[in-house]
Amino acid sequence: MQMTAEPDYTFLQRLNLPSRGGTTDHVQGLIRDAIVSGDLPPGTAINKHLICDRLGVSRFPVSEALTRLQAEGLVEILPQRGTRVTRIRILDVEEAMFIRRALEAEAVRRLAGEIRPDTIAALDRNLRYQRAAVEAGDRSGFHALDLDFHQTLVDALGFARVRAMLETARGNLDRVRRILSSPRRHAVTLEEHVAIFEALARGDGEAAGRAMARHLDQVIAEMVAFAADNKDVFDDAG
């Protein structure tokens, strides 16, 4: 697999942390966001020295952040050859979506009978903002609201280990969702979210679970279709 051309890292801003604590976490988050957003596309060679210069940090937090991102499946550290952003493996995405489907569909089933009014209000507000983002063609704004919609549901469930499992599964899924991002997909996603919300609001857990499963299944179906025409982005597209 060939590495793509090296970026100039202008999308990274210098860190101005009040203390040394948490530097690795901040670096990890910034590199992760760059991978998920596409600023560091699949196959891109990663230059630790340039990242250190841009962020104003030593090599240790960058190296440690990349080791953590390797555990998430977002980068590969190749002895004597450097580090690169992994190409997306369809099998990894399907596995991660399997986890999300099982956990999030069950989460909304459980929430339907006990969802708090403030959670309903937060979801309703989020959907109004989603609709505004769709109408404005705000791609990055819609992506953030999409994540927040799902996070609100998981937070309302209140299970820390479920939240952690879903967070671990997010990396390659977020990359796929950004790749598939389009005005049509945003409009469809909004209506899928509305169906989940309406089922929750009327206390119908089974309908909410089915709506969540349909929503997540659609991402996989569109990814497989996209992969057939964009094999350079995926490691196992056939």
Q: Which domains does the chain have, with CATH numbers?
A: 23-85 (1.10.10.10), 90-233 (1.20.120.530)
Mean model confidence pLDDT for the chain: 89
So what's the pLDDT on residue 227? 81
Q: What is the mean pLDDT of residues 140-151?
A: 93
pLDDT at 237 over 70: no
So what's the pLDDT on residue 145? 96
DSSP assignments along 60-127, one per residue: HHHHHHHHHHHHTTSEEEETTTEEEEPPBPHHHHHHHHHHHHHHHHHHHHHHHTT--HHHHHHHHHHH
Q: What is the mean pLDDT of residues 158-169?
A: 90
Query: Which residue type, as a one-letter code, is found at position 119?
Result: T
Predicted structure pTM score: 0.79
So what's the pLDDT on residue 169? 80
pLDDT at 31 over 90: yes
Share of the chain residues as helix, strand and coil, in percent rounded to the nearest 5 = 70, 5, 25
88 beta partners: 234
Helix then strand count (H, E) for the chain reads 9, 3
Cα gap 7→86, rounded to integer Å? 15
